[in-house]
């Protein structure tokens, strides 16, 4: 796995407020808070690092406010980071730190190198555009200019994400939550990116729909061989989708390892509480 | 108050049947020299960066914003004593707006006017490019109501600026895709989006699709002025202007099979329908370019006289 990674994150950190490193001393899991009483800053994430190989799914788990979404947004470019490095194999063979790129170059990465599936489909989709049009946006951004081929590709993707083709030319705003999420998946995979970030992809869906979407995501990850980062507070999601995961608490990683092992035998007290709560 | 000046102005604008006089006590071209300089600078930037919308300090003009004030400011900033001006509205030299704008330009400069492109150097227009081929002698000045081609897909000005800066036109393509899906054809007619010099997308507003191909690698300079929106942009001569269209959906101009001009019989010019004028309630077609139509009619009646009327 060492040289095989598609995405590598090291020492990623985000401090809201005064970027004073003294804030690190009185924050974190040992102190039990992310807010520094010394500087007043909030250490949303610090010293976060992991690697993800092609075809592998890595879970990031933790309670609300533990910093998992911050990590994802810093990798995606939705938020600026305070420290750290992020490498993509598809960018300069992993030689260039993604965080050093200017905002415009980072947005370009989102076309075909790095996709994000958000918890709220409204963030990843345009609700006043048709399902096919949303996918067409991803394709035309990547340079597709042939109407027939765009149609065919959009239909193929919607079929794969189990959206009825009869709804292809309907506005996404008229879709149910589960179907929106399927369209968002189709759009995220449109240009076959090597890395996909999924932020709470099934949170907010009712149980039966969530199970269906989860099933779909697992199949898609297997079929496409993308490297995926799955952010969730839900152990069931992490268990179903990922082989390895990291546990975050107050902005830091407290434990990392194989998902099965972590669920069976959590070491860190926080992980134990988390697993205990999930198994209860 | 200088009553004699006021009287002069009133006289000038009430006695419309007299030939224009240039001895009026206003600056040549109505605008003061500082205003002209600012507008010319915007024009120079626009020519240097084809298709880029240059902001400028749009002045209060004697016509309301939205009635050609942008085109008028460009005309008055570039006009020189050797120019001959032609102004058209929907291809018609005699439209009320065209007549008023032309009268204003002529009365504040004393330059001659014409309806024939051949004799003109400065052509201010709303909605058309004259049918006659234009060349290096001509500067085409278009009055633009909505200069922003992406206005339909995005409202946030910062986001619009970002999209142009990064040449991120995916959502423009999505709107064409949706148009084609919904209607089977691309229905956009006036203001068809075009890629200029391979870089910026412009709105070719307000000309119809018919005129769009004539901007591509043209021999003349085109200046677009939007007074209300305070933007100037340009298509310099010999510049690529490619209408955005899918590889498998060819760009087409408006054509009605079998339609011909009732006045001159032409079927090769841009025709507009005059509804309900015949006895059976049906409409008929006439040339949009009234001056070209008149000369075409004379050409057909008197073929020996050659091209000019």
pLDDT digits (tens, 9 = 90+) for A100-148: 999 999 999 999 999 999 999 999 999 999 999 999 999 999 999 999 9
Mean pLDDT of B29-55: 96
Mean pLDDT of B111-116: 96
Q: How many CB atoms lie within 10 A of CB A127?
A: 13
Residue B287 is a catalytic residue: yes
Please state the ipTM of this predicted complex: 0.89
Mean pLDDT of A268-274: 91
Query: A102: nearest CA in chain B?
Result: B166
pLDDT for res B18: 44
> Is residue A261's pLDDT more than 60?
yes
Residue B293 is a catalytic residue: yes
Alpha helix ranges (H) inside B184-228: none
What are A186-222's pLDDT values in tens digits? 999 999 999 999 999 998 888 888 999 999 999 999 9
Query: B164: nearest CA in chain A?
Result: A104
A chain contacts of residue B166, beta-carbon cutoff 8 Å: 104, 107-108
pLDDT band of residue B190 (cuts 50, 70, 90) is confident
pLDDT for res A145: 96
| Phi-psi group of A125: left, alpha or beta (phi > 0 → left; psi -120 to 50 → alpha; rest → beta) | beta
pLDDT band of residue B5 (cuts 50, 70, 90) is low
B chain contacts of residue A190, beta-carbon cutoff 8 Å: none
Are B177 and A133 in contact (CB < 8 Å)?
yes
Tokens of B265: 């019989």
pLDDT for res B8: 67
pLDDT for res A42: 94
Q: Looking at chain A, how many residues does it have?
A: 280
CA distance A252 to chain B (A): 34
> Is residue B19's pLDDT more than 60?
no
Architecture field, domain B1-245:
3-Layer(aba) Sandwich (3.40)
Are A137 and B168 in contact (CB < 8 Å)?
no
> Is residue A1's pLDDT more than 50?
no
Mean pLDDT of B90-116: 94
> Is residue B199's pLDDT more than 80?
yes
Strands B271-274 and A114-117: unpaired
pLDDT for res B16: 44
Q: Which of A108, A132, A140 sits opposite B181 (nearest CB)?
A: A132
Is the distance from CB of A98 to CB of A7 less than 8 angstroms?
no
Query: B183: nearest CA in chain A?
Result: A169
pLDDT for res B309: 43
> How far is C-alpha A91 from the geometric centre of its chain's CA atoms?
18
CA distance A151 to chain B (A): 9
Range list for CATH 3.40.50.11310 in chain B: 1-245
- Residue A113 φ then ψ, to 5°: -105, -25
Residue B194 is a catalytic residue: no
Mean pLDDT of A153-160: 96
Cα–Cα distance measured from residue A188 to residue A180, given in angstroms and rounded to the nearest whole number: 12
Of the listed B71, B225, B227, B287, which one is catalytic?
A: B287
Share of chain A above pLDDT 70, in %: 99
What element of type H or E holds A75? helix A68-76
pLDDT for res B3: 63
Mean pLDDT of B140-160: 94
């Amino acid at each position: 796995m060492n040289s095989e990674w598609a995405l590598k994150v090291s020492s990623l950190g985000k401090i809201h407020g005064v970027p004073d490193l003294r804030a690190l001393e009185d924050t974190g899991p040992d102190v039990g808070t992310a807010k520094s009483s010394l500087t007043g800053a909030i250490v949303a994430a610090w010293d976060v690092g992991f690697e993800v190989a092609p075809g592998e799914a890595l879970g990031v788990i933790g309670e609300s406010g533990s910093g998992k979404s911050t990590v994802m947004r810093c990798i995606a470019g939705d938020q600026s980071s305070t420290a750290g490095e992020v490498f993509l194999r598809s960018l300069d063979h992993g030689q260039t730190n993604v965080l050093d790129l200017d905002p415009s170059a980072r947005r370009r990465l989102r076309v075909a190198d790095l996709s994000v599936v958000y918890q709220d489909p409204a963030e990843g989709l345009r609700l006043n555009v048709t399902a096919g049009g949303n996918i067409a946006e991803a394709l035309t951004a990547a340079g597709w200019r042939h109407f027939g081929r765009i149609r065919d590709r959009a239909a193929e993707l919607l079929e794969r994400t189990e959206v009825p083709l009869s709804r292809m030319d309907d506005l996404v705003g008229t879709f149910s939550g589960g179907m929106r999420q399927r369209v968002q998946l189709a759009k995220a995979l449109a240009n076959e990116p090597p890395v996909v970030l999924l932020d709470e992809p099934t949170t907010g869906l009712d149980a039966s729909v969530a199970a269906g979407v989860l099933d779909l995501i697992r199949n898609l990850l297997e079929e496409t061989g993308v490297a995926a980062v799955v952010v969730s507070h839900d152990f069931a999601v992490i268990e179903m989708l990922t082989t390895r995961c990291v546990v975050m608490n107050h902005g830091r990683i407290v434990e990392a390892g194989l998902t099965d092992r972590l669920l069976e035998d959590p070491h860190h007290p926080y992980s134990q509480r988390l697993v205990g709560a999930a198994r209860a | 108050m200088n009553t004699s000046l006021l009287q002069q102005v009133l006289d000038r604008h009430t006695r419309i049947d007299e030939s224009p006089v240039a001895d009026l006590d206003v600056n040549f071209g109505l605008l003061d020299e500082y205003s002209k300089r600012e507008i010319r600078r915007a024009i120079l930037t626009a020519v240097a960066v084809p298709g880029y919308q240059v902001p400028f300090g749009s002045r209060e003009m004697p016509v309301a914003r939205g009635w050609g004030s942008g085109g008028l400011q460009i005309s008055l900033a570039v006009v020189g004593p050797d120019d001959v001006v032609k102004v058209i509205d929907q291809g018609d030299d005699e439209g009320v707006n065209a007549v008023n704008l032309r009268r204003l330009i002529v009365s504040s400069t004393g330059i001659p006017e014409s309806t024939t492109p051949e004799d003109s150097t400065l052509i201010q227009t709303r909605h058309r490019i004259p049918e006659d081929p234009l060349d290096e002698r001509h500067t085409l000045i278009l009055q633009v109501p909505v200069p922003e081609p992406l206005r339909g897909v995005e409202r946030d000005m910062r986001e619009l600026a970002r999209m142009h800066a990064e040449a991120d036109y995916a959502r423009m393509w999505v709107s064409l895709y949706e148009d084609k899906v919904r209607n089977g054809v691309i229905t956009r007619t006036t203001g068809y989006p075009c890629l200029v010099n391979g870089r910026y997308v412009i709105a070719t507003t307000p000309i119809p699709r018919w005129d769009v191909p004539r901007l591509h690698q043209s021999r003349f300079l085109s200046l677009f002025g939007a007074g209300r929106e305070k933007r100037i942009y340009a298509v310099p001569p010999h510049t690529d202007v490619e209408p955005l269209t899918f590889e498998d959906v060819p760009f087409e101009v408006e054509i009605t099979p079998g339609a011909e001009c009732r006045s001159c019989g032409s079927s090769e010019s841009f025709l507009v329908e005059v509804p309900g004028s015949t006895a059976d309630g049906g409409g008929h077609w006439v040339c949009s370019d009234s001056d070209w139509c008149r000369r075409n009619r004379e050409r057909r009646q008197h073929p020996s006289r050659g091209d000019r009327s």
